[in-house]
Amino acid sequence: MIVETKYYKINETIKLESGRELKEVEVAYETYGELNGTKDNAILLLHALTGDAHAAGYHEGDSKPGWWDDMVGSGKAFDTDKYFVICSNMLGGCKGTTGPSSINPDTGREYGLDFPVITIEDVVKVQKKLIDFLGVKKLCVAGGSMGGMQAMEWALSYDEMVSHVIIIASTPKLSAQSIAFNAVGRNAILSDPNWNNGNYYHGEKPDKGLAIARMVGHITYLCEEAMHSKFARRFQDKDSPDFSFDIDFEVESYLAHQGKIFVDRFDANSYLYITKAVDYFDIEAKYGSLEEAFKNTHAKYLIMSFSSDWLFPTAQSKELCNALMKNKKDVSFCEIESPCGHDAFLLEYETQTNIIKSFLKEEVNE
């Protein structure tokens, strides 16, 4: 499946949760499958921290498919024979949608820190404009990790449009520990002299700081079990230590590699803005309680967690589940046994496929 990213320019000012405004927002998005006549067979996929609009298929000339290709396509979990599947890059991102690396129309230069701090509510507000533009009347929203937060936000803000909500490896609010990990990552970027208060787009980039942020992230995406089975204490290309500060262990090499490839594809300022949006997300604080929050929603919910995910552990999914059940909402929950840690939502596609197909079944029969 050869696909290409399209762009939608929103012709109105977006008012943000902070009170600030964004005048010109462009949204990068992709679609797979066809919208039906009643315009109610849409599925909006919501990407995680560093994802993009390219969820599935191949861009012309690429050897690697989109980030959730295992889940999106003919006969797959998100079946493009039946559904009109949409994925857009998030507001604040760096993959085609307006973010800190975009040109500020007021100055003609990159926004940098002039970009307003955004929230998950803002991110979803922009997605809603795209969905309206595409003519969709009713949709299923689905996402893992931060994508799951956006799915929750959709259910809360646009209940009238949302039929199904799929929340994978996510949480209604970060724990103090998760905020701490994000804070370390941001500190690494802010401490890199090349960051230069966010103005680095025409010089050296804060690659070292961004790489360290990514390394911290990757430790939290795996779990000890996954790290052990991947690397144990094996030395990299040698059998014993070389008594230097070069890379000794395979796990060090893995992290260094992840850091290195990340800086080529991601913008450090976007990393700051997006992790901040994630830190701020807190349904309980906004609505008084989780139970109160979901009281007036009408969608069906599918919540999945992974046994070895210690970043957004099962207990956090269960909290959400309990709040929905107390409201007598239609909710399915599954903790999937997996040794892959938080990353499981990108890897354990077979189990997820079965569960999602079963959850969406009623749609199929319509």
| Residue 181 sits in the site that holds a copy of itself (CB under 8 A) | yes
Q: Which residues contact 165 (CB under 8 A, 6 or more apart)?
A: 140, 141, 142, 151, 152, 154, 155, 299, 300, 301, 302
Helix (H) or strand (E) holding 305: strand 300-306
DSSP category for residue 70: T
Asked if 121 interacts with a copy of itself (CB under 8 A), we say no
107 or 191: CB nearest a copy of itself: 191
H-helix or E-strand containing 260?
helix 250-265
Residues from 296 through 355 that contact a copy of itself (CB under 8 A):
none
Using CB under 8 A as the binding rule, whether residue 231 contacts a copy of itself is answered as: yes
Position 125 contacts a copy of itself (CB under 8 A): no
**Residue 358 near a copy of itself by CB under 8 A:** no
In the residue annotation, 342 being an active-site residue is answered as yes
Amino acid at 56: A
Q: Does 288 bind a copy of itself (CB under 8 A)?
A: no
Give the span between the Cα atoms of 235 and 97, in whole angstroms: 41
Give the length of the chain: 366
Min CB(180)–a copy of itself separation in Å:
5
Interface with a copy of itself, residue 93, by CB under 8 A: no
In the complex, minimum distance from the CB of residue 20 to a copy of itself, in angstroms, rounded to a whole number: 8
Interaction with a copy of itself in 252-271: which residues (CB under 8 A)?
252, 255-256, 259
Kindly indicate which of the ranges 52-60, 71-79, 132-140, 226-234 contains the residues binding a copy of itself, using the contact rule CB under 8 A.
226-234
The whole-angstrom separation of Cα 125 and Cα 200 is 29
- Residue 49 as a binder of a copy of itself (CB under 8 A): the answer is no
Q: Under the criterion CB under 8 A, does residue 139 sit at the interface with a copy of itself? A: no
75, 105, 135, 193: residue in contact with a copy of itself (rule CB under 8 A): 193
3-state secondary structure of 61: coil
Of the residues 86, 152, 188, 360, which one makes contact with a copy of itself according to CB under 8 A: 188
* Binding residue count for a copy of itself, defined by CB under 8 A: 56
- Give, as one character, the DSSP assignment of residue 318: H
Query: According to the binding rule CB under 8 A, does residue 251 interact with a copy of itself?
Result: yes
Per-position DSSP letters for 89-149, written without gaps between them: PPTT-SSSS--TTSB-TTTSSB-GGGSPP--HHHHHHHHHHHHHHTT--SEEEEEETHHHH
Distances (CA, A) of 211 to 93, 203, 265: 17, 17, 11
Per DSSP, the three-state class of 314 is: helix
Among 58, 121, 157, 190, binds a copy of itself (CB under 8 A): 190
Give 82 or 218: the residue with its C-beta nearer to a copy of itself: 218
Nearest CB to a copy of itself, comparing residues 262 and 349: 262
CA distance 308 to 321: 19
Kindly state the smallest distance separating residue 236's Cβ from a copy of itself, in Å: 11
CA distance 159 to 128: 12
Q: Which amino acid, residue 234?
A: R
Is residue 145 annotated as part of the catalytic site, yes or no? yes
d(CA 303, CA 322): 11
Q: Nearest to residue 160, comparing CAs of 126, 141, 137, 142?
A: 137
How many angstroms separate the most distant Cα atoms in the chain? 67
User: Active-site residue among 52, 69, 309, 343?
Assistant: 309
Determine, following the binding rule CB under 8 A, whether residue 282 of this chain makes contact with a copy of itself: yes
Interacting residue with a copy of itself among 156, 174, 293, 323 (CB under 8 A): 174
Q: Per the residue annotation, which of 88, 101, 102, 145 is the catalytic one?
A: 145
- Interface residues toward a copy of itself, by CB under 8 A: 18, 20, 113, 116-117, 173-177, 179-181, 183-184, 186-188, 190-193, 208-209, 211-212, 215-216, 219, 222-224, 227-228, 230-233, 241, 243-245, 248-252, 255-256, 259, 272, 276, 279-280, 282, 285
Catalytic center residues: 145, 309, 342
